[in-house]
Amino acid sequence: MAEEYTGAGADRTAGADRTVAPAALRIDIVTVLPDMFAGPFDHSLIRRARDAGIVDLRVHDLRRWAHDRHRTTDDYAFGGGGGMVMKPEPLFEAVEAILGIEPLRAGDARVPPCPVVMMTPQGRRFDHGLARELAGQERLVVLAGHYEGFDERVRMHLATHEVSIGDFVVTGGEIPAMLLVDAVARLRPGVVGLATATDTDSFAAGRIEHPHYTRPAEFRGWRVPDVLLSGHHGEVERWRRREGLRRTWERRPDLLDGLALTDEERTWLAAWRADARGDA
């Protein structure tokens, strides 16, 4: 029986060579393709978060909970039609075993003790607000589906959240699960070096982030805005706030609805809108 993936290469035992902090966020991913997670989660911030014990990440092979000799996790849909459907038995048994809970049955009022996130194109659109909500949990279970999706009983009686990364279809739920885990993990304290780094990310404050520049100050005739070279921190901050708002208005005006704006920001918006209309 295969063991859950927890690290690169031959490291396939839970918690091997890793220190898990008491306050670590534990994330369990259930998938039929556990090896897909080796590369993305063994590099960059996620790797450092795992090594530091801030995130305890475990990837489980769903086939462990399949009982036939072929380790089948999908079957034909009742009623006919094309495509296969993810079977309920392995998924329920996997989540119950991972969480250490008794089997869930019809008429049972119990629900899983932590979020069980189903990756599905039918779900709630994943955004920064949902990432923050999930990052505030102590534990998550993420289900990566395939084929025509999950048996409806998984959706109704096992999953607590249904999440989509956008209005498009991909081969399976593994890459969406990776995106969700990356977005959630980086919001845990200590993962990103400065707390302000996540607070000022695009969408963190409900708006798109300002433009960024680095050296050289001039490249092929394109020069960095003078204000960024001025050393005047107040003016730099004002420029960043204005340009972030301008970019939000130009690219994602829907984000402006309900956004708390200062009087100065409302003046900027009014001027840009007047220019766009060609007002004198």
Q: Which two tokens stand for residue 91?
A: 């998924």
What does the domain layout of the chain look like in residue ranges?
25-195, 200-277
Instruction: Give the end-to-end CA distance of the chain in Å, rounded to a whole number.
Output: 74
Secondary structure class of 19 (helix, strand, coil): coil
DSSP β-ladder status, 25-31 and 139-144: parallel
The secondary element (H helix, E strand) that includes residue 234 is: helix 233-251
Residues across the chain: 280
Question: Could you tell me the CA-to-CA distances from 270 to 198, 206, 246, 279 in Å, in that order?
Answer: 29, 19, 11, 11
* Rounded CA separation 160/113 (Å): 10
Angle at 63 between CA 14 and CA 41, to 5 degrees: 45
Q: Does domain 25-195 have CATH number 3.40.50.720?
A: no
Question: Could you tell me the CA-to-CA distances from 241 to 37, 193, 209, 232, 265 in Å, in that order?
Answer: 37, 22, 8, 14, 9
Helix 263-277 vs helix 233-251: crossing angle, to nearest 10: 50
Residues with Cβ within 8 Å of 35's Cβ and at least 6 positions away in sequence, in order, are 5
pLDDT tens digits in sequence order for the chain, 280 residues long = 334 555 533 333 334 456 666 589 999 999 999 999 988 898 888 999 999 999 999 999 999 999 999 999 999 999 988 889 999 999 999 999 999 999 999 999 999 999 999 999 999 999 999 999 999 999 999 999 998 899 999 999 999 999 999 999 899 999 999 999 999 999 999 898 644 455 555 455 689 999 999 999 999 999 999 999 999 999 999 999 999 999 999 999 999 998 999 999 999 999 999 999 997 6
Give just the sign of the alpha carbon dihedral 51, 54, 59, 60. Answer: positive
157 within 8 A of 118, measured Cβ to Cβ: no
Q: Does domain 200-277 have CATH number 1.10.1270.20?
A: yes
31 within 8 A of 174, measured Cβ to Cβ: yes
Show which residues are catalytic. Answer: 121, 148, 186, 201
* Rounded CA separation 73/150 (Å): 10
